[in-house]
Amino acid sequence: MATQNKAVLGYIQCADCGERGSVHAAAGRRNQLYKRCGCGCDQRNGAVVQSRLWYETEWLDGMKPEKAPAQVQAPEDYSGQVDRIDQQPRGVAADDETGQQTEIRPESKPENEPDQPDKTGLWWLAGGVAALAVLVGRA
Ligand SMILES: [Zn+2]
Protein backbone atom coordinates (compact mmCIF):
# COMPACT_ATOMS: atom_id res chain seq x y z
CA MET A 1 0.00 0.00 0.00
CA ALA A 2 1.49 3.30 -1.10
CA THR A 3 1.55 5.91 1.60
CA GLN A 4 3.50 8.55 -0.33
CA ASN A 5 0.81 9.92 -2.58
CA LYS A 6 -2.19 11.04 -0.65
CA ALA A 7 -5.45 11.46 -2.43
CA VAL A 8 -5.94 14.78 -4.15
CA LEU A 9 -8.72 16.67 -2.42
CA GLY A 10 -8.66 19.69 -4.65
CA TYR A 11 -6.52 22.26 -6.37
CA ILE A 12 -5.31 25.70 -5.49
CA GLN A 13 -3.43 28.32 -7.44
CA CYS A 14 0.00 28.88 -5.90
CA ALA A 15 0.92 32.53 -5.61
CA ASP A 16 4.62 31.68 -5.39
CA CYS A 17 5.28 29.46 -8.41
CA GLY A 18 2.11 30.18 -10.38
CA GLU A 19 1.35 26.50 -10.64
CA ARG A 20 -1.93 24.90 -9.83
CA GLY A 21 -1.03 22.95 -6.76
CA SER A 22 -2.81 19.90 -5.50
CA VAL A 23 -4.26 19.92 -2.02
CA HIS A 24 -4.03 16.94 0.27
CA ALA A 25 -4.90 16.00 3.79
CA ALA A 26 -1.83 15.80 5.98
CA ALA A 27 -0.96 12.49 7.51
CA GLY A 28 -1.44 11.98 11.20
CA ARG A 29 -4.19 12.81 13.60
CA ARG A 30 -3.95 16.52 13.11
CA ASN A 31 -6.61 17.73 10.80
CA GLN A 32 -4.45 19.71 8.42
CA LEU A 33 -4.03 20.38 4.76
CA TYR A 34 -0.97 20.70 2.61
CA LYS A 35 -0.30 21.44 -0.99
CA ARG A 36 2.09 20.21 -3.59
CA CYS A 37 3.17 22.49 -6.39
CA GLY A 38 6.27 23.79 -8.11
CA CYS A 39 7.49 24.98 -4.73
CA GLY A 40 7.51 21.43 -3.45
CA CYS A 41 5.52 20.17 -0.58
CA ASP A 42 4.09 23.04 1.44
CA GLN A 43 3.18 21.73 4.85
CA ARG A 44 3.11 24.99 6.72
CA ASN A 45 0.43 24.82 9.37
CA GLY A 46 0.04 28.47 10.26
CA ALA A 47 -3.46 29.88 10.53
CA VAL A 48 -3.17 32.01 7.41
CA VAL A 49 -1.77 29.18 5.28
CA GLN A 50 -4.34 26.69 6.49
CA SER A 51 -7.14 29.21 6.12
CA ARG A 52 -6.07 29.97 2.57
CA LEU A 53 -6.01 26.28 1.70
CA TRP A 54 -9.39 25.78 3.30
CA TYR A 55 -11.16 28.72 1.69
CA GLU A 56 -9.44 28.97 -1.68
CA THR A 57 -9.03 25.37 -2.70
CA GLU A 58 -11.25 24.21 -5.50
CA TRP A 59 -12.40 21.00 -3.92
CA LEU A 60 -13.01 17.97 -6.04
CA ASP A 61 -16.51 16.59 -5.79
CA GLY A 62 -17.06 15.09 -2.38
CA MET A 63 -13.42 15.49 -1.38
CA LYS A 64 -13.74 18.48 0.91
CA PRO A 65 -13.01 17.36 4.47
CA GLU A 66 -15.92 17.53 6.85
CA LYS A 67 -13.93 19.42 9.41
CA ALA A 68 -11.73 22.40 8.77
CA PRO A 69 -8.21 22.35 10.18
CA ALA A 70 -8.11 23.62 13.74
CA GLN A 71 -6.09 26.68 12.77
CA VAL A 72 -8.52 27.85 10.13
CA GLN A 73 -9.89 31.26 10.94
CA ALA A 74 -13.55 32.09 10.92
CA PRO A 75 -14.73 33.18 7.47
CA GLU A 76 -15.32 36.73 8.63
CA ASP A 77 -11.83 36.84 10.11
CA TYR A 78 -10.19 35.50 7.00
CA SER A 79 -11.94 37.80 4.56
CA GLY A 80 -11.66 40.64 7.00
CA GLN A 81 -7.89 40.60 7.21
CA VAL A 82 -7.58 43.76 5.20
CA ASP A 83 -9.76 45.57 7.69
CA ARG A 84 -7.67 44.31 10.55
CA ILE A 85 -4.50 45.57 8.93
CA ASP A 86 -6.18 48.93 8.51
CA GLN A 87 -7.02 49.11 12.18
CA GLN A 88 -3.51 48.38 13.37
CA PRO A 89 -1.70 51.49 12.16
CA ARG A 90 -4.51 53.59 13.57
CA GLY A 91 -3.71 52.41 17.08
CA VAL A 92 0.02 52.80 16.55
CA ALA A 93 -0.45 56.26 15.16
CA ALA A 94 -2.39 57.29 18.23
CA ASP A 95 0.44 56.12 20.46
CA ASP A 96 2.95 58.03 18.40
CA GLU A 97 0.96 61.19 18.62
CA THR A 98 0.93 61.16 22.39
CA GLY A 99 4.51 59.93 22.61
CA GLN A 100 6.34 62.42 20.52
CA GLN A 101 4.46 65.59 20.05
CA THR A 102 7.22 68.02 19.31
CA GLU A 103 6.46 71.14 17.40
CA ILE A 104 9.23 72.15 15.13
CA ARG A 105 8.83 75.87 14.66
CA PRO A 106 11.47 77.63 12.58
CA GLU A 107 12.58 80.73 14.45
CA SER A 108 11.78 83.75 12.44
CA LYS A 109 14.40 86.45 12.94
CA PRO A 110 12.90 89.88 13.47
CA GLU A 111 13.86 92.06 10.56
CA ASN A 112 15.83 95.18 11.36
CA GLU A 113 13.75 98.23 10.87
CA PRO A 114 15.06 100.31 8.03
CA ASP A 115 14.07 103.49 9.86
CA GLN A 116 17.03 103.47 12.18
CA PRO A 117 19.84 104.19 9.70
CA ASP A 118 17.79 106.99 8.26
CA LYS A 119 17.26 108.53 11.68
CA THR A 120 20.91 108.36 12.53
CA GLY A 121 21.64 109.85 9.14
CA LEU A 122 19.36 112.70 9.98
CA TRP A 123 21.07 113.13 13.31
CA TRP A 124 24.44 113.17 11.57
CA LEU A 125 23.11 115.69 9.10
CA ALA A 126 21.68 117.83 11.85
CA GLY A 127 24.94 117.57 13.78
CA GLY A 128 26.92 118.47 10.67
CA VAL A 129 24.76 121.47 9.97
CA ALA A 130 25.08 122.60 13.58
CA ALA A 131 28.85 122.14 13.50
CA LEU A 132 29.05 123.96 10.20
CA ALA A 133 26.95 126.77 11.61
CA VAL A 134 29.24 127.01 14.60
CA LEU A 135 32.27 127.06 12.35
CA VAL A 136 30.68 129.58 10.06
CA GLY A 137 29.68 131.71 13.07
CA ARG A 138 33.22 131.62 14.40
CA ALA A 139 34.79 132.41 11.12
ZN1 LIG B 1 4.16 26.94 -5.50
How many whole angstroms from 20 Cα to the centroid of ligand 1? 8
CB neighbour list of residue 43: distance below 8 Å, 6 or more residues apart: 26, 32, 34
Q: What pLDDT score does 102 carry?
A: 56
Q: Cβ distance 130 to 138 under 8 Å?
A: no
How many whole angstroms from 68 Cα to the centroid of ligand 1? 22
What pTM was estimated for this model as a whole? 0.54
Q: How many CB atoms lie within 10 A of CB 72?
A: 22
pLDDT tens figures, 91-128:
444 444 545 555 666 676 666 655 555 667 777 788 88
Task: For the chain, give every domain's residue range.
Answer: 10-85
Q: What pLDDT score does 87 carry?
A: 42
Q: What pLDDT score does 80 carry?
A: 46
How many whole angstroms from 22 Cα to the centroid of ligand 1? 10
The neighbourhood of ligand 1, an ion, using CB within 5 A, equals 14, 16-17, 37-39
d(CA 25, CA 43): 10
